[in-house]
Structure 1
């Protein structure tokens, strides 16, 4: 930021701010100041110039304060402030003073020229109070204090974005079906008690021998259960001696028996019959 140091500590700072405010109000600027005789801030704002140079909401700000056995004047830009709010918290709690040289090209030159004009006005007002005043740059011994107090804060470090792994979604394990809980299909087939021919449940007669596959009452011919002793329809006894048919035993196929081949008869010619030859 641009600054001047006046090597005198008896300058009336409030009178300096009042005179500066009156000069720029006469030129059509909006002007305000707040503070006390140890530190004061003067803000200047004019729509046609300042809105184009330092932003719509910004104002050229001059801070004048006692420091290091003299008076320090600093110039920069700052948001146009509420005078009542600043009066409650003080200038120290106000936002930082940003430098004017923030744009490029002709805009930066105009900003620098505007800042020099304001500082030249401050120089003239100071010399009205102390004509023999010495004007110079900011002393090195108070420069760190001024930078800590009014310099813009350093850019904040922004850590790189971290990848947040999504939370794992619980997937239940596949259910194992117990093989013992599922009844296996029965491999035992129903067979006719007479001829041992297989039949399906619900068949009434055997497809092999034609006999009935259900037990019938001998009296009313109603179907009864196999283990019933009496008919549930007529009450007749189901048991009849000599008529109960035992279940046929499964037919067992006989294993083939090896039969050796018959020996072939060889022809044997008869022995020659001796012929009798009479003696001579």
Structure 2
């Protein structure tokens, strides 16, 4: 064995002062034998009582199994609370990022549409390409020559400035959360729940870690919101009765309605899956069917 190998193989230093503990044990035993009022003990009872008095002293450096378990539970509760707070902060950050990204996309697309004129881009072919790129960046607002309305067509009313519109969006988000909660329950049944076999602990650990880290590979595997299937029927089923009809909404307001339902769904799925994985890792039973 080389010197370096021996260095790596050395155990960590033990800080326990064993001679001091030995002296205290002798003092305790002497007091038990010669002290006044001490119970008469022998054999295992005598040595057990001596060890109990030694190791339960606050300065002994030892703790009982019960104290150790209480410490671990308290540490686990603290870590769980910190993880929940971190997940909440991550969700809030993702929501802020999504809102900012929508604004940036709309502004960039508007600049491209304004800049793509015959003077700046003489080639019609290239000009059409710029407009197509703008539509890809901001699909909520399309431009010529792909879907251009007639000039005599009146613009649809925009409820964005209506004080009631934020209430509509909140209602849609709540409806999306309810759908997300059901999707999370379904995911749990078929992934870590009663309809699975084998050890699902590793799956729960990986999924929970991926959600906390915002890992796309994990998030993309969770139930996804059906953006393509969100239509007038879905909107009217989720919106309040006094909300504008789907056909009265402008393209940006339709996009905002879909975003509200999708944000609620996605948040509820991530929270529900994370909660079920954490409960399983905490020693709970598998989610019931």
What range describes the TM-score normalised by the shorter chain of this pair?
under 0.3
Structure of larger gyration radius: 1
Name the structure, 1 or 2, with higher relative contact order (CA <8 Å, separation 6+).
2
Instruction: Answer 1 or 2: which has greater helix percent.
Output: 2
Instruction: Answer 1 or 2: which has greater strand percent.
Output: 1
| TM-score normalised to structure 1 length | 0.18
